[in-house]
Amino acid sequence: MNAAGAERAVAALAASQHSAFRRRQAASLGMSSKVVAARVRSGVLREPLSGVLVFTSAPETWHQQLIIPTLAAPGRAFASCRAAADLHQLDGIGSSALELNVFASTHLRAPGYTIHRVAVLDSCDLTVVDGIPCTNIAQTLCDLGAVVSQDKVEQALDDALRRGVSERWIRETLQRVARPGPSGTATLRRILDLPDRSGAVPDSWFERLVERIFASSILPAPVRQHRVTEPGGTRVAYLDLAWPEVGLAVELSGVKAHGGARNTRRDHARDFWLTTQDWEVMYALWADQHQPDRFRASVEKVYLRRLRRRTVA
- For residues 261 and 303, state if they share a domain: yes
Q: Tell me the CATH number at 304.
A: 3.40.960.10
Say how far apart CA 191 and CA 299 lie, in whole Å: 27
Residue ranges of alpha helices (H) inside 163-291 are 167-177, 185-192, 205-213, 255-258, 264-276
- For residues 126 and 185, state if they share a domain: yes
Q: What angle do CA 276, 277, 281 make, to 5 degrees?
A: 85
- For residues 173 and 252, state if they share a domain: no
Task: Give the mean pLDDT per block of 10 residues along the chain (313 residues).
Answer: 86 96 95 94 96 96 97 96 97 92 89 91 96 98 95 96 96 90 87 88 89 92 89 82 96 59 68 91 90 94 94 75
Tally of domains in the chain = 3
pLDDT, position 67? 98
- For residues 145 and 184, state if they share a domain: yes
Say how far apart CA 269 and CA 63 lie, in whole Å: 45
- For residues 9 and 77, state if they share a domain: no
Say how far apart CA 210 and CA 67 lie, in whole Å: 39
The residue among 59, 77, 92 that closes a domain is: 59
Domain that holds residue 112: 63-197
pTM of the model: 0.83
pLDDT, position 258? 45
pLDDT, position 302? 96
